[in-house]
Amino acid sequence: MLKVENVSKYYGTLKAVDNLSFEVKDGEIFGLLGLNGAGKTTTFRMIMCLIDDYTGKITLDGKKIDYTMTDKIGFLTEERSLLTKMTVLDQVKFYGVLKGMNEEEIENKLDYWLDKFSISEYKNKKIKELSKGNQQKIQFICAIIHEPKLLILDEPFSGLDPINVELFKNIILEFKEKGTSIIFSSHRMEHVEMFCEKLVVLVSGKSVLSGYLKDIKDEYKKKNVIVCGDIDKKKVNNLDGVIKVEKEANEYIIKIKDSSYVSKIFKEISKFDNITKFVVEDASLNEIFIEKVGEAYEK
């Protein structure tokens, strides 16, 4: 289990991370979210021991993380960190050896992963000859080749097509099943929602929202009613409990204060013609994120 306790980090006078605490249990996928400059990379770098002049405590399975433990951690960085003139095999060997593996073990594992990603033919090709998506696969393999206890994934789906997003997702879930603690960061809320059970949202290094996604959604009372049909937008806007009505493609999205208004709204909507859909949904993580981050900036 990863435990981050009351961690703060200054760059000169700038407090980049402000008294941050969270834990990621074995087999848990945790989302670390925030706008640009919120302090995510700084937090990753402290966990990885690339920054050590911070206050507070970061432990993995009860032991303070220091440079001797980095072979227990895998880090997929947002920016490309591959040496493009190297071959795939040499690049992965380079990372594997750094993580304490021997060359034979690295090559066996690499063969397994290249096959899994259907890119075995690139083993002896130079990184620069690979497409962006395939480079992302190699970067991912470098992060997992040593089967880390803690896996940090910063924008892992960047540059991937939907089929490969699904493939990555399944592999990440396999690691979760094996008990790996996973920290996931992305600006794409639908990806976070897809598999993070717990999260923290940072604004200027400070947590403004944290906990289990399910609890966050339960506490956030606002709902969306999705309607298809010929409604009078103005009339619906004036109904009790309605916050606003938006049109998206052939649907109306009616944002309401909470579920207690649903039955009255349903009665009113059914008076309009051609109603073919009336569905009540939880607010998306994206909506919650935008509201909470916005509120934090207004304070």
Nearest distance from residue 73's CB to ligand ATP, in Å? Answer: 17
Name which of 32 and 89 has its Cβ closer to ligand ATP. Answer: 32
Strands of 2-11's sheet in order across: 14-24, 2-11, 55-60, 63-64
The yes or no reply on residue 145 touching ligand ATP (CB under 6 A) is no
**What part of residues 3-22 is at the interface with ligand ATP (CB under 6 A)?**
11, 14, 16
Q: Write phi, then psi, for 252 (nearest 5 degrees).
A: -105, 135
Q: How far is CA 242 from CA 18, 159, 229, 250, in A?
A: 37, 39, 18, 20
Residue 80 CA to residue 59 CA, distance in Å, equals: 27
What is the DSSP code (8-state) at residue 101?
Answer: -
Name which of 40 and 109 has its Cβ closer to ligand ATP. Answer: 40
Cα-based torsion angle of the residue sequence 152, 164, 83, 181 in order, rounded to the nearest 10 degrees: 10
The yes or no reply on residue 39 touching ligand ATP (CB under 6 A) is yes
The yes or no reply on residue 208 touching ligand ATP (CB under 6 A) is no
Beta bridge mates, 252: 227, 247
Q: Contact with ligand ATP (CB under 6 A): which of 41, 70, 91, 180?
A: 41
Residue 21 CA to residue 241 CA, distance in Å, equals: 37
Sign of CA dihedral 180, 183, 185, 191: positive
The yes or no reply on residue 191 touching ligand ATP (CB under 6 A) is no
Nearest distance from residue 25's CB to ligand ATP, in Å? Answer: 23
| Max Cα distance, the chain (Å) | 71
Instruction: Give the number of residues written for the chain.
Output: 299
Q: Contact with ligand ATP (CB under 6 A): which of 37, 56, 159, 229?
A: 37
The yes or no reply on residue 186 touching ligand ATP (CB under 6 A) is no
Residue 250: CB atoms within 10 A of its CB come to 9
Nearest distance from residue 292's CB to ligand ATP, in Å? Answer: 16
Nearest distance from residue 34's CB to ligand ATP, in Å? Answer: 5
Q: Contact with ligand ATP (CB under 6 A): which of 24, 42, 58, 203?
A: 42
Segment near ligand ATP (CB under 6 A), from 33-41, 68-76, 157-165, 219-227?
33-41
**What part of residues 90-119 is at the interface with ligand ATP (CB under 6 A)?**
none
Which positions lie near ligand ATP, rule CB under 6 A?
Answer: 11, 14, 16, 34, 36-42
